[in-house]
Chains A and B, each alone.
Chain A
Amino acid sequence: MVCEMETDHQIDEMDVEVLSSMWPEDVGGTEPDNQFNVEKPAGDSDTLKEVDIAEKRTMADLKRLPELMNTTDQGSSQLTNLVKQWEYMQDHAVRLLREELKILTKQREEAEAKELKIIEEHNFETEEPENVPVLDESSDLFRRFKEKKSDALVGRKRIEVDEEFDTVAYWKQKALSLEKMLEASTERERRLIEKLNESLKTMESHSAPVEELTQNLKRAEGFLHFILQNAPIVMGHQDKDLRYLFIYNKFPTLREHDILGKTDVEIFHGGGVKESEDFKREVLEKGKASKREITFETDLFGSKTFLIYVEPVYNKAGEKIGINYMGMEVTDQVRKREKMAKLREDNAVRKAMESELTKTIHITEETMRAKQMLATMSHEIRSPLSGVVGMAEILSTTKLDKEQRQLLNVMISSGDLVLQLINDILDLSKVESGVMKLEATKFRPREVVKHVLQTAAASLKKDLTLEGNIADEVPILVVGDVLRIRQILTNLISNAIKFTHQGKVGIKLKVIPEPSFASDNTLNADAQEQNGMAETSVWIRCDVYDTGIGIPENALPCLFKKYMQASADHARKYGGTGLGLAICKQLVELMGGQLTVTSQVNLGSTFTFILPYKVATANDHSDDQEEFSDMVDHQPEPDDTTEGYFQFKPLLGSIYSNGGPVISNNFLPHKVMLNSPVKLINGFVDNTGQSEAVQVENGDYMDEARHETRSGHCPEYENGNGPCPSKESESCSSSQASSEMESELTVSSPREDVKTEPEVRETIKQPNILLVEDNKINIMVAKSMMKQLGYTFDIANNGVEAITAINGSSYDLVLMDVCMPVLDGLKATRLIRAYEESGTWDAAVEAGVDTKKLENKQLHVRSTNRLPIIAMTANTLAESSEECYANGMDSFISKPVTLQKLKECLQKYLH
């Protein structure tokens, strides 16, 4: 509909052409293709196109449009208007003529009056001599005047004759000239009247004012064209089948026969066409004019948005016969509007982001403050705690009995743990809040490694080989933050030792090319430049490896997270704060390096950190000798500076090997050793001489175990008797307890006193206990424990059985498993509590517990006492203690149930 090929030239052309094509009547004469055909031989194709475009601006179905004009109100009103206007103008012309006639008549009357006057005067003079009676003359004046006029020729002759008379002649002459004038005037009057009549006649004969109407129509057309000439508007009329009868288009691209008689859908294809068609139809159906914006996406003119106005057209009988349609291209406007909307939206989004950012900044600030606070608090706690631990340590050197010492040991180790935790938190918050500053000092990597290993070996309580291996190319002297590096190494080594029971733990240093992650780490380079060191930098890779228990793959991702350990099990067994690796990682990253880990379960782990160092120049070496040797607490021996391999065996071995080959007992912490009865040790000592032989003999099953470790070092298996050396406090106390037991074992049965206790109680009262548990093995174990404690009990396999049992007899205590089939412990407890409150099992019945089994409810209504129910939980999230309490349980025992736990619990609830 719209063509974009608009040029000035075209507009000129149009000016000429369009006037005649505005309304269909005018086009009537020319065939649609006429112009085209005529021009074809003459102009080039370009001109043809332009002409064509100009010509095709309006297209109309000439047969049907006039009919339309006649049948619709809109069509006829135009003509009526024109006719009215013409009539009005004719009326006006008639009025004007009448007025003219009136004026002429008036003039004539005046002229007659004047003539009469002159005649009177004349008569007066002439009649005196002739003696004409005055009365006659005056009465018959008009008649006589007429008579005179009729024979004017005679009179004129007479005038000429009478010239020679003196005064009389003069008057006569005057009268004659006046008469002539009168005659001329009369003649003129007559002619005017004639003309008027004629004009009136012609006017009446003008019955068909075609000429004038045509003029008017042309004017109207011109006016409309003047306005519409450059408007980007398409107008049209479509019949009730939505076929085009008429279309006006400023930039037509289709020929008449392409459009007329067709519908939109037939003409165009693409997006929006169907919509516009539906819209038109809707208007036609509803009979209500309306506007809509439709975006077309057609092959013909691309993507354009039109504002379309459609109104229904009625014929004179009030029937719908089609629609008038007007479209204006608003693509640019829509685009602008959308752009505006988008801008506004973007603006809103940006504002939202800004506020979000402000919030984040606020939160970050809060977090930083909180961290700072934590650091401060940790520091504040550390000082007094150090005092407590220190005093406790002093106290431990004084004379104490066994139980006191045991308590004190727990106290010290707990205190140490808290101190360690606080130190870790302090470090971490320092790194995180950016407070931690790195120092650049010269140090010898070999010495650092050696020292770290030495220190670790000094406190080593297991038979582990500690080794250090430094590649030759590693510089003797480098620059870095030696304190932090030592901290990382110590941390990793102590971790490795903690989780390794046999084999070795070691540190390996070697120089590597600059890793890829460092190349874009410009910050790091800047930091190094600030140090003012112009030396070349070197990347050193440090592996801390062990042959320990390894880390399962699924635990690797959270290994470096704060307060996380590979598993809860490890946390329980090995202790620790779970902060060490997080700190190591943060420190390494702070120094521009990277900390990674590889591990294989049961084979060991390797922690690797890569750090950049500056190589100190040789001449600095001698100057700073004292400084760094101070730092690493090292006795400068010439050998040490270049030595690349160290190995340390546990110091304990040498301490206790005074007594000969007692190596097998190294693994017991010395505290246990001291407390253990001599008898027991002697037993071992007697056999130690044969330990090697034993080793060989048992090779068959030892081999199985050996796959755990990489080293085939035999004596490791001798440490079988050693307690787990990690969680010092607990393992020490437990091993103490067990060694006590062992010592008693040699003298008498350790359970004798345990047994006597319940026996005594049995005589007083045998309590009724109900164990609700679905696992056979658990039942068996519990049964055995109960037996040892001197109790008997009934068993229910699930919550329903428990309720039935409680209904059937009275119990003093219920041990209730939480997770059971049919009815779990929590629900069962709730129902039991409901029964205690209401005295009926209604709640249980509602919950679906078999009612038949609860028939004899009156028989065993419990006394006022609340039945103690102890939960047995597996300590999982789903079985939290809170939930137990919330469901009406009195206490809980975490699984697996131990004799000790059971004993404590029973003692508490059975009096």
Chain B
Amino acid sequence: MDALVAQLQMQYRNYTASLYQQGFLDDQFTELKKLQDDASPDFVAEVLSLFFEDCVKLIGNMARALDQTGTVDFSQVGASVHQLKGSSSSVGAKRVKGLCVTFKEYCEANNYEGCVRCLQQIDIEYKALKTKLQDMFNLEKQIVQAGGKVPQVDN
């Protein structure tokens, strides 16, 4: 039993750390993890599900704004990008945040091509992050089920 927990914990550590190393996550995610306690055991999951909902909504907004025939309202796109940037920054979704920064620059430069490219990348990134985080949560569940404690993983 102990061995299984330890193994799962090990796996969890490695996996989480790889997420940090590959730049999916940053310190802010750690911060988020710290906020989760017995009083709110699903805090991170809640925040993240909110975040992914936000992603769907905002990316939809951006896509619609960029899909306009005629002149694209870059300020409208930029507003959504700003929102997403704030959200991703808050949850520590590093890659998404980085893309948002670039995206915002393109918006300010009214660079349509760049914006579309960024939007596509963001779409890919947040989905990738979602899968990875789901894996992570699954691991957490397994650890808890095996009677272990989810270890704290730092960047």
Partners in one complex: yes
Is B116 in contact with chain A by the CB < 8 A criterion?
no
- Binary contact readout B70-112 vs A (1 if CB under 8 angstroms, 0 otherwise): 0000000001001101110111100000100110000000000
Is B130 in contact with chain A by the CB < 8 A criterion?
no
- Binary contact readout B4-21 vs A (1 if CB under 8 angstroms, 0 otherwise): 001100110111111011
Q: Which of B40, B87, B152, B155 contacts A777 (CB 8 A)?
A: B87
Is A413 in contact with chain B by the CB < 8 A criterion?
no
B43 to chain A, nearest CB (A): 6
Q: Point out the residues of chain A lying under 8 angstroms from B36, CB to CB.
A: 784
A669 to chain B, nearest CB (A): 13
Assess the A694–B10 pair: CB atoms within 8 A: yes
Partner-binding segment picked from A129-137, A190-198, A381-389, A893-901: A893-901
- A569 touching B98 in the complex, CB below 8 Å, given contacts A687-B7, A777-B87: yes
Assess the B7–A690 pair: CB atoms within 8 A: yes
Is A788 in contact with chain B by the CB < 8 A criterion?
yes
- A778 touching B86 in the complex, CB below 8 Å, given contacts A704-B132, A717-B18, A742-B152: yes
Is A29 in contact with chain B by the CB < 8 A criterion?
no
Assess the A899–B31 pair: CB atoms within 8 A: yes
Q: Point out the residues of chain A lying under 8 angstroms from B113, CB to CB.
A: none
Is B67 in contact with chain A by the CB < 8 A criterion?
no
Assess the A724–B155 pair: CB atoms within 8 A: yes
Is A506 in contact with chain B by the CB < 8 A criterion?
no
Is A105 in contact with chain B by the CB < 8 A criterion?
no
A719 to B20 CA separation, bound complex (whole angstroms): 12
Is B56 in contact with chain A by the CB < 8 A criterion?
no
Q: Point out the residues of chain B lying under 8 angstroms from A781, CB to CB.
A: 32, 35, 47, 90-91
- A549 touching B23 in the complex, CB below 8 Å, given contacts A720-B18, A722-B17, A777-B50: yes
Q: Which of A701, A745, A778, A784 contacts B40 (CB 8 A)?
A: A784
Assess the B14–A698 pair: CB atoms within 8 A: yes
Q: Which of A705, A723, A778, A896 contacts B154 (CB 8 A)?
A: A723
Is B1 in contact with chain A by the CB < 8 A criterion?
no
Q: Point out the residues of chain B lying under 8 angstroms from A780, CB to CB.
A: 46-47, 50
Is A554 in contact with chain B by the CB < 8 A criterion?
yes
Q: Which of B15, B27, B151 contacts A701 (CB 8 A)?
A: B15
Assess the B90–A775 pair: CB atoms within 8 A: yes
Assess the B32–A751 pair: CB atoms within 8 A: no
Q: Point out the residues of chain B lying under 8 angstroms from A821, CB to CB.
A: 79
For A897, the closest partner residue in chain B by CB is B90
Q: Point out the residues of chain B lying under 8 angstroms from A742, CB to CB.
A: 151-152, 154
Q: Point out the residues of chain A lying under 8 angstroms from B54, CB to CB.
A: 776-777
Is B141 in contact with chain A by the CB < 8 A criterion?
no
Interface residues of A in 734-775 (CB under 8 A from B): 734-735, 738-739, 741-742, 745, 749, 751, 774-775
For B6, the closest partner residue in chain A by CB is A687
Q: State the majority secondary structure of interface residues on A.
A: helix
A755 to chain B, nearest CB (A): 8
Q: Which of A569, A724, A735, A819 contacts B82 (CB 8 A)?
A: A819
A600 to B133 CA separation, bound complex (whole angstroms): 26
Assess the B152–A745 pair: CB atoms within 8 A: yes
Is A874 in contact with chain B by the CB < 8 A criterion?
yes
A487 to B10 CA separation, bound complex (whole angstroms): 41
- A698 touching B32 in the complex, CB below 8 Å, given contacts A775-B86, A777-B51, A780-B47: no
User: By the criterion of a CB under 8 Å from any partner CB, how many residues of chain B are at the interface?
Assistant: 53
For A901, the closest partner residue in chain B by CB is B31
Is A204 in contact with chain B by the CB < 8 A criterion?
no
A698 to B43 CA separation, bound complex (whole angstroms): 27
Interface residues of A in 625-676 (CB under 8 A from B): none
Assess the B35–A777 pair: CB atoms within 8 A: no
For B54, the closest partner residue in chain A by CB is A777
Q: Point out the residues of chain B lying under 8 angstroms from A708, CB to CB.
A: 22
Q: Point out the residues of chain B lying under 8 angstroms from A683, CB to CB.
A: 6
Greatest chain A CB density within 10 A among B6, B34, B102 is at B34
Greatest chain B CB density within 10 A among A734, A776, A897 is at A776
Q: Which of A686, A721, A776, A895 contacts B13 (CB 8 A)?
A: A721
For B104, the closest partner residue in chain A by CB is A876
Q: Point out the residues of chain A lying under 8 angstroms from B43, CB to CB.
A: 784
Is A50 in contact with chain B by the CB < 8 A criterion?
no
For A775, the closest partner residue in chain B by CB is B86
Q: Point out the residues of chain A lying under 8 angstroms from B90, CB to CB.
A: 775, 777-778, 781, 895-897
Greatest chain A CB density within 10 A among B11, B30, B132 is at B11
Q: Point out the residues of chain B lying under 8 angstroms from A749, CB to CB.
A: 37
Q: Point out the residues of chain A lying under 8 angstroms from B22, CB to CB.
A: 602, 705, 708
Q: Point out the residues of chain A lying under 8 angstroms from B18, CB to CB.
A: 702, 705, 717, 720
- A788 touching B35 in the complex, CB below 8 Å, given contacts A687-B6, A690-B7: yes
B77 to chain A, nearest CB (A): 14
Assess the A738–B154 pair: CB atoms within 8 A: yes
Assess the B152–A738 pair: CB atoms within 8 A: yes
A895 to B18 CA separation, bound complex (whole angstroms): 24
Interface residues of B in 98-144 (CB under 8 A from A): 98, 101-102, 132, 135
B40 to chain A, nearest CB (A): 7
Q: Point out the residues of chain A lying under 8 angstroms from B79, CB to CB.
A: 821
Assess the B21–A501 pair: CB atoms within 8 A: yes
Q: Point out the residues of chain B lying under 8 angstroms from A704, CB to CB.
A: 132
A483 to B18 CA separation, bound complex (whole angstroms): 38
- A735 touching B154 in the complex, CB below 8 Å, given contacts A687-B6, A705-B18, A819-B82: yes
For A568, the closest partner residue in chain B by CB is B101
Q: Which of A554, A717, A718, A785 contacts B102 (CB 8 A)?
A: A554
A684 to B31 CA separation, bound complex (whole angstroms): 25
A332 to B85 CA separation, bound complex (whole angstroms): 72
A785 to B21 CA separation, bound complex (whole angstroms): 25
A719 to B10 CA separation, bound complex (whole angstroms): 11
Q: Point out the residues of chain B lying under 8 angstroms from A567, CB to CB.
A: 98, 101
Top 3 closest pairs, chain A to chain B, by CB: A720-B17, A738-B154, A720-B14
Task: Provide a sorted-by-A list of 5 A–B residue pairs whose CB atoms are within 8 angstroms.
Answer: A720-B14, A777-B47, A788-B35, A821-B79, A896-B89
Using a CB–CB cutoff of 8 Å, the interface residues on chain A facing chain B are 501-502, 549, 552, 554, 567, 569, 602, 683-684, 686-687, 690-691, 694, 697-698, 701-702, 704-705, 708, 717-724, 734-735, 738-739, 741-742, 745, 749, 751, 774-778, 780-781, 784-785, 787-788, 819, 821, 874, 895-899
Q: A734-B155, A895-B90, A896-B90 are in contact. List 17 more A-B contacts (CB 8 A).
A: A554-B102, A602-B22, A701-B135, A720-B13, A720-B16, A721-B153, A735-B154, A742-B152, A751-B34, A776-B87, A778-B86, A780-B50, A781-B90, A788-B34, A874-B85, A895-B89, A899-B34
